[in-house]
Amino acid sequence: MALAHDPLFITSDKSPIDITSTPPPSSMMILTQDELKRIAAYKAVDFVKSGMVLGLGTGSTAKHAVDRIGELLRRGELENIVGIPTSKKTQEQALSLGIPLSDLDSHPVIDLSIDGADEVDPRLNLVKGRGGSLLREKMIEGASKKFVVIVDESKMVKHIGGSKLALPVEVVPFCWEFTAERLRGVMEGYGGCEAKLRFGENGRAFVTDNGNYIVDMYLEKDMGDLRVVSDEILRLPGVVEHGMFLDMASTVIIAGELGVKIKNKYSSCC
């Protein structure tokens, strides 16, 4: 029988199956992307222990993990947790669940961070920030002893930018068009890109929690040496941070129709 902490698949007869140890039966219902995200998130929360300082991620996948942490606190299965939220949205969610919160000034070393990702390459490099919280995420997850990433299998790519979706860059609003043009110029040497200002639902420029804009880069080719590209982008005046999280993930948990895979930083073992 599966434990309460274990992610479950539900078969057509409504019986739970622990997919971390059991291959899915033929009668298993097809899971939605959100259900796969929840499975990965619940598995990540198994790493959480009482007394930890936790980095609380942002986005649809991380939301499931924060909900789970709140649930285990209410049930008394976790105690003395302190959360460091990566966005105002996550802060509001955590407060609604009764999760005690603090910040990096009070807790400069974090035991564990849990967050989603927009892309994961074979070396566990990430793209994050399509939700707009990349700066705070990078600060908090960079201060963590362990960073567990939770994704569904659609986020796995052969190389950064392989999804053909946005690689976000946070920029100051002042002369953002100048900065976007400089980004295009830098990326010409790495396969080229299209750089577009991100707009919000109100039709105006999207503004981050830090009062900045996001320029989304759409890459045309594999960039090659990501650290070299990273350094060149960060040297541009006007750039605050980019969404490449290089060599930061300790563990990636991947939920798919055939079960959960766990990839660790120095091993390709699943």
User: Which residue among 92, 119, 137, 141 is the active-site one?
Assistant: 137
* Biggest alpha carbon–alpha carbon distance for the chain: 59
222 CB contacts (<8 Å, ≥6 apart)?
Answer: 158, 159, 160, 161, 162, 191
Active site annotation includes 137: yes
Spell out a b/e string for 147-174, using b for 16 or more CB atoms within 10 Å of the CB, else e.
bbbbbbbebbbebbbebeebbbbbbeee
Tokens representing residue 215 in the block? 């320029």
Beta-strand pair 244-245/126-127: antiparallel
Enzyme catalytic residues: 137
